[in-house]
Amino acid sequence: MGAGGIPNRAINIFEGRKLDDEGEPNTRSDLYQNGKLKQSRWYGPDGKAVRNRDYFHQDSHRNHKFPHDHNWNWANNPPRDPNWVEPDYKNFN
């Protein structure tokens, strides 16, 4: 169990355009673009994404606050909820 902002799971670092929807179970992936952290994604026990944290992306309507999170629900298609929510730093760190 993490405390004081210490991540409570393994982190894989990627550089590039996007993260995969599925990854190593119970890990976090961090996506960097040009050396800047763009996105974190958490994977559940089955390896499917459960949460995103976006540090920056297009915001043409200027209606996003950064960073923010997106929930994933694999009962939906696509599973990523387009609506953003406040970051959950307690459960996703």
Q: Which is nearer to Zn ion, 40 or 93 (CB)?
A: 40
Q: Which is nearer to Zn ion, 20 or 57 (CB)?
A: 57
> How far is Cα 26 from Cα 49, in angstroms, rounded to an integer?
9
Please tell me whether residue 69 binds Zn ion under the rule CB under 5 A. Answer: no
Q: What does the per-residue mask of binding to Zn ion show for 43-62, with x meaning CB under 5 A?
A: -----------x--------
The two three-digit tokens of residue 84, written as one number: 């953003």
Q: Which is nearer to Zn ion, 46 or 59 (CB)?
A: 59
Q: Please, what's the b/e burial string for 25-38 (b: 16 or more CB within 10 A of its CB; e: otherwise)?
A: eebbbbbeeeeeeb
Please confirm whether the linkage preceding 78 is cis (ω < 30° from 0).
Answer: yes
Q: Which residues bind Zn ion (CB under 5 A)?
A: 54, 84
